Chain A
Amino acid sequence: EAGVAQSPRYKIIEKRQSVAFWCNPISGHATLYWYQQILGQGPKLLIQFQNNGVVDDSQLPKDRFSAERLKGVDSTLKIQPAKLEDSAVYLCASKTSGREQYFGPGTRLTVT
């Protein structure tokens, strides 16, 4: 079984630029999550999708972050414009009902 795929693995941008991350969950997993992990911290949930609907986006900074999950499969997370404090690892995870979450390798974003 293929795991959760994410791209790119690394991205360096200047502040005020925009950036997009892509996630492909495990096949058949209806629930998809995006987390932000700042160095030395545990992951923090940004947004949760159930199929292509948003379940929880209460911690997503909506003035600059957006996410979508077209057709209930792949998802993209966008930041526009980026700030220095957005430097972090962005993790995507997926799960099927009642099971544990499986995480992708993450995208390390550096904003200079």
Chain B
Amino acid sequence: KQEVTQIPAALSVPEGENLVLNCSFTDSAIYNLQWFRQDPGKGLTSLLLIQSSQREQTSGRLNASLDKSSGRSTLYIAASQPGDSATYLCAVYSGNTPLVFGKGTRLSVIA
């Protein structure tokens, strides 16, 4: 059974700092991995999707990497801003099973 773990559970950083969020999964047989952002009281916004054949994806100040063999992914946020404050969720898709989510990392960027 696939399990997804995200570390840390919460993170507080000063504005402008670069930061890394971690995601690990137990079964490396995945089709893709997705990073989402969730603002309080809102739904999920997809940030980046990495196919199993890819090593990384970039969008603006965000860079996500995937090491399928070791069951790890990282989300790198450059030059953090207060508007980046949210919960970040990692989810893996293995084909004929549901999308499996981690519990998320709650990020606070302090001005």
Contacts and interface: CB of A to CB of B under 8 A. Distances in A.
Give the contact-size bracket for chain A: 20 to 34
Interface in B21-50: 34, 36, 41-46, 49
A104 B46 CA distance: 11
Contact of A102 (B41, B46, B89, B98): B46
B99 interface: yes
A48 interface: yes
A103 B44 contact: yes
B34 A100 contact: yes
A42 B4 contact: yes
B43 A103 contact: yes
Interface in A80-112: 91, 93, 100-106, 108
A103 B4 CA distance: 20
B56 to A, nearest CB: 16
A103 B34 CA distance: 13
B43 A104 contact: yes
Contact of A108 (B4, B41, B49): B41
A43, A91, A102 interface centre (most CB from chain B within 10 Å): A43
Interface in A1-40: 4, 6, 33, 40
Given A42-B4, A42-B104, A101 B42 contact: no
B98 A100 contact: no
A42 B49 contact: no
A67 B93 CA distance: 23
A43 B101 contact: yes
B101 to A, nearest CB: 3
Contacts of B102: 42
A41 B46 contact: no
A100 B34 CA distance: 8
A105 B46 contact: no
B103 interface: yes
B34 A40 contact: no
